[in-house]
Amino acid sequence: MSRSIPVALWVIACLLALSGLPREARAESGRTVEHAFGESRIVGSPQRIVTLYQGATDSALALGLEPVGVVESWLERPMYRYLRDSLPEDVRYLGLETQPDLEAIAELAPDLIVGARYRQASVYPLLSRIAPTVIADTAYEFEAMLELLGKATGRRMKARALLDAWHQRVADFRCRAAAALGDAWPQEVSVVSFRGDHVRLYYDGFAWRVLEQLGFRRPEGQTGAGWGIKLVSRESLPAMDADAIFVFMRDDPAVAEQHRAWTAHPLWQNLEAVKRDRVHDVDPVIWSMGAGILAANRLLDELYAHYGLVPGRSKSGGQKEGKGESC
């Protein structure tokens, strides 16, 4: 049975009282971290960290942290395979991003909680009573999330090193893609997700935040506001035409049937990307749900493979080498 907010507040207050660590005592010294809902005062180097959306879990593990509590994944439950082995064996699962278990969070006695505005806006006042809480402005800005968590946990140098390595990989890919594709670079691409009763054409989201850095562009007609549009009629298939199309979907019979019906349509067969064999099936977890620096690097790995490019490898002196053009 779900509890009302007042009851949840009472339970949380009791747990905090039993802990013997009133917030006033913890806030005597430390550093102030700005986030989407204001500022949070953090003391020392938090060790008992709770992450309430997947990008925060990804970022915490990238920084070498071991969360004591995490929300469950949307697929591959209880946690995405690419993160599962890095979590401590005794990590506590706290329900879904959309409805985390507040009592369980309080019982963990965390010293830092990390969330995202679009998921935790309504419960932020409760979370901030349990422990210092930092909230990311969006779920897509994986670099900002990494910097926020690095500052909150005293690992800013580690976060900076991860971002520097990421930017080097971005530059390497752009160089190699330009050399391999010549006048065909940069490419205009579409990001498409097949669902059971419609198809989603994305104008924004985690994948696009990565693709834009790498130099990819949206087709001219894909400039609307928001995450994108839902396509419910196969007559709208031309809206997704591009130099290349990246497709992800869940392993579900209804989704498979939708994909079969749409891709058998003559309008699909007439798409430029289809005629040139530039439709790439990609991992839905990595392209849509991971939303952290680890997922970004795996997405980039997929792109190197799809375009037949060999990543550069570091040599002494910081130079790189690989097959093909030197970048």
Tokens standing for 262? 């749409």
In this predicted structure, what is the pLDDT of residue 14? 44
pTM: 0.87
Amino acid at 82: Y
In this predicted structure, what is the pLDDT of residue 155? 96
In this predicted structure, what is the pLDDT of residue 318? 43
For 73, the enclosing helix (H) or strand (E) is none
Low-confidence spans in the chain with pLDDT less than 50: 1-8, 10-11, 13-28, 314-324
What CA dihedral angle connects 36, 39, 44 and 45, to 10 degrees? 0
What CA dihedral angle connects 84, 86, 88 and 94, to 10 degrees? -40
What are the pLDDT digits (tens) for 2-42?
343 444 454 454 444 444 444 433 444 678 999 999 999 99
In contact, 130 and 17? CB cutoff 8 Å:
no
In this predicted structure, what is the pLDDT of residue 225? 78
In this predicted structure, what is the pLDDT of residue 17? 43
In contact, 79 and 72? CB cutoff 8 Å:
yes
Residue 6 to residues 2, 10, 68, Cα–Cα distance (Å): 12, 6, 26
What CA dihedral angle connects 178, 294, 252 and 236, to 10 degrees? -40
